[in-house]
């Protein structure tokens, strides 16, 4: 790590932001230059509108369409549920103004609809795709897109497993495609400034970082089979994961309650997601790695801290619903709430802390508390010349949270520059989250080698870096 220097805490915001941009670019791995920047082989050049498809038409997919800059035009949408495809044309509530420009455009009249992404990529002439499916389908669809030579905006978390993330990152490097991970905190000026301030020694030598105690997923269990809704291709939804019987609690997200707590739907289950650890945790640990200057590395130890009574932990952070016994829970499920400490080779620790709700960096000179689009310090005057609060305004308002991040992706497609959240960095950040869940799953602490991306003398843990895939959903070899 850099030698800490207290004097840098008074550095101007312009200098810090400039250094932050340079640091992000230097940390990213190089990509090959695509011929599409000059418009050869029938592909659009820098001044042409890009033909974009959207795969996954839930709330996030609709947000992405509504925040696509005018340089891109949506020519096709895809979802395994016909109801989601139709719902894009009949938005409700807050999505009415978000989708209004698209629905008023000529593009919406000619936009094609697909249920299977494989057919979409086979039949449509595309330049790029935005993917916002459930986590377990991310790698498969993204690899198909790379195979088709498309640039990709892929929602976080990047992949369901560490092995998938490595395969996807390597494929991006081989193809030269632009892949932006949907970790929009990387583009938010407040976060960029705060991360650079920390890297430049603004809070002094760091001892540890506290983050919320995000819950892990539940393992599969028997749920009473229900009729598959009309127009839903359940086989496509399950994708590479096991084909289990349909139940609404395996599919619909954020729509149900169990008692007074929300039921999270598909992202509660290990088959499809890492739950909150890879949901909100993907944002948090991505920024922590960025602030620590560890974008292309990771911890060397994953320390599990057992807790006898997890119910208080479950209620300290939103939507970490304990599994009611009526749904077949068992004592092993309690481990998904156990706090985890991630230790780096220089001794700095990231601690899952049930008492915090933001990201707290503890240094010799003080503490910096950060969250999406904001930060503060203790003592308050630690930052002498912080960024103008007005730079945070463009991120406010429902649906705006990804707008500049999507714009950065479009700019990079045209210039072939490295995006703010490139795939290798997204893979490394997601790996930290997955390591925490693997320790909980195994019920013990682990040692990790971030260079080889293998556990130290632990074949049992290594076997869990990947999972079997169903026939027909194998990852393409690129």
- CATH class for the region spanning 1-29+188-222+248-391+423-470: alpha beta
**What is the spatial distance between Cα 382 and Cα 203, in angstroms, rounded to a whole number?**
8
**pLDDT value at position 27?**
38
Over residues 351-365, the pLDDT tens digits come to 999 999 999 999 999
What pLDDT band is residue 194 in, cutting at 50, 70 and 90? very high
Which of 20-34, 198-212, 268-282, 376-390 has the lowest average pLDDT? 20-34
Over residues 175-203, mean pLDDT: 96
Which of 76-85, 206-215, 398-407, 469-478 has the lowest average pLDDT? 398-407
Sheet containing 112-114: which strands, arranged edge to edge?
112-114, 72-78, 50-55, 128-131, 151-154, 179-181
Instruction: Select from 368, 351, 373, 370 the least CA-distant residue to 359.
Output: 370
**pLDDT value at position 64?**
96
Residues of the chain with CATH 3.40.50.720: 30-186
The 3-state DSSP class for residue 211 equals strand
Domain 30-186 has CATH 3.40.190.10: no
Over residues 64-79, the pLDDT tens digits come to 999 999 999 999 999 9
Over residues 301-318, mean pLDDT: 81
Instruction: Select from 4, 467, 427, 5 the least CA-distant residue to 240.
Output: 467
**pLDDT value at position 171?**
98
- Yes or no: say if 36 and 128 are a contact pair by the CB < 8 Å rule: no
In this model, does residue 323 exceed pLDDT 70? no
Which of 33-37, 186-190, 200-204 has the lowest average pLDDT? 33-37
**What is the spatial distance between Cα 51 and Cα 60, in angstroms, rounded to a whole number?**
19
Over residues 145-162, mean pLDDT: 98
Over residues 391-404, mean pLDDT: 78
Over residues 201-215, mean pLDDT: 96
The angle subtended at Cα 435 by Cα 344 and Cα 244, nearest 5°, is: 175
Beta strands (DSSP E) in 60-174 are 72-78, 112-114, 128-131, 151-154
Residues of the chain with CATH 3.30.360.10: 1-29+188-222+248-391+423-470
The 3-state DSSP class for residue 373 equals coil
**What is the spatial distance between Cα 370 and Cα 289, in angstroms, rounded to a whole number?**
13
Which of 136-140, 395-399, 456-460 has the lowest average pLDDT? 395-399
What pLDDT band is residue 45 in, cutting at 50, 70 and 90? low
**pLDDT value at position 2?**
34
* Whole-number percent of the chain with pLDDT over 70: 83
What pLDDT band is residue 263 in, cutting at 50, 70 and 90? low
Enumerate residues 6+ apart whose C-beta is below 8 A from 128.
50, 51, 52, 53, 72, 150, 151, 152, 153, 413
Enumerate residues 6+ apart whose C-beta is below 8 A from 308.
none
The predicted model scores a pTM of: 0.88
**What is the spatial distance between Cα 275 and Cα 265, in angstroms, rounded to a whole number?**
10
Phi and psi angles of residue 209, each rounded to the nearest 5 degrees, phi first: -130, 130
Summarize the chain as % helix, strand, coil (round to 5). 40, 15, 40
């Amino acid at each position: 790590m850099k030698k800490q220097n207290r004097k840098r805490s008074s550095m101007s915001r312009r200098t810090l932001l400039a250094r932050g941009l340079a640091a992000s670019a230097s940390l990213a791995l190089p990509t090959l230059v695509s011929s599409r920047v000059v418009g050869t082989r029938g592909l659009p050049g820098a001044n042409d509108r890009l033909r974009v498809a959207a795969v996954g038409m839930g709330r996030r997919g609709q947000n992405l369409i509504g925040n696509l800059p005018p340089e891109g035009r949506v020519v096709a949408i895809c979802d395994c549920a016909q109801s989601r495809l139709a719902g894009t044309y009949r938005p409700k509530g807050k999505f009415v103004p978000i989708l209004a420009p698209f629905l008023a455009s000529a593009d919406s009249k000619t936009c094609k609809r697909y249920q299977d992404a494989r057919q979409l990529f086979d039949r449509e002439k595309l330049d790029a795709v935005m993917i916002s499916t459930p986590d377990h389908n991310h790698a498969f669809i993204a690899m198909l897109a790379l195979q088709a030579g498309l640039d990709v905006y892929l929602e976080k978390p990047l992949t369901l497993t560490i092995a998938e993330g490595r395969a996807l990152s390597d494929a991006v490097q081989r193809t030269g495609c632009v892949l932006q991970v949907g970790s929009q905190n990387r583009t938010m000026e407040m976060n960029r400034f705060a991360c650079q301030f920390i890297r430049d020694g603004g809070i002094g030598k760091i001892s540890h970082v506290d983050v919320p105690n995000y819950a892990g997923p539940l393992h599969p269990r028997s749920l009473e089979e229900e009729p598959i809704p009309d127009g839903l291709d359940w086989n496509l939804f399950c994708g590479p994961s096991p084909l289990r019987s349909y139940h609404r609690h395996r599919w619909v997200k954020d729509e149900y309650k169990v008692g007074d707590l929300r039921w999270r739907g598909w992202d509660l289950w290990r088959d499809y997601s890492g739950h909150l650890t890879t949901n909100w945790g993907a944002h948090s640990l991505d920024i922590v790695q960025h602030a620590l200057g560890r974008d292309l590395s990771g911890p060397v130890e994953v320390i599990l801290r057992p807790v006898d009574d997890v119910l208080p932990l479950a209620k300290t952070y939103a939507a970490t619903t304990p599994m009611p016994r009526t749904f077949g829970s068992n004592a092993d499920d309690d481990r998904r709430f156990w706090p985890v400490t991630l230790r780096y080779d220089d001794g700095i620790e990231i601690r899952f802390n049930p008492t915090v709700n933001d990201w707290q960096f503890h240094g010799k000179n003080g503490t910096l508390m950060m969250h999406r689009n904001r930060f503060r310090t203790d003592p308050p005057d630690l930052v002498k010349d912080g960024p103008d609060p007005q730079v945070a305004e463009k991120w406010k308002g429902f649906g705006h949270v990804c707008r500049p991040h999507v714009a950065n992706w479009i700019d990079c497609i045209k210039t072939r520059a490295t995006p703010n959240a490139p795939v290798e960095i997204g893979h490394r950040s997601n790996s930290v989250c997955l390591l925490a869940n693997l320790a909980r799953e195994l019920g013990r602490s682990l040692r990790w080698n971030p260079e080889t991306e293998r556990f130290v003398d632990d074949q049992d843990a290594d076997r869990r870096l990947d999972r079997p895939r169903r026939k027909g959903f194998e990852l393409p070899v690129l």
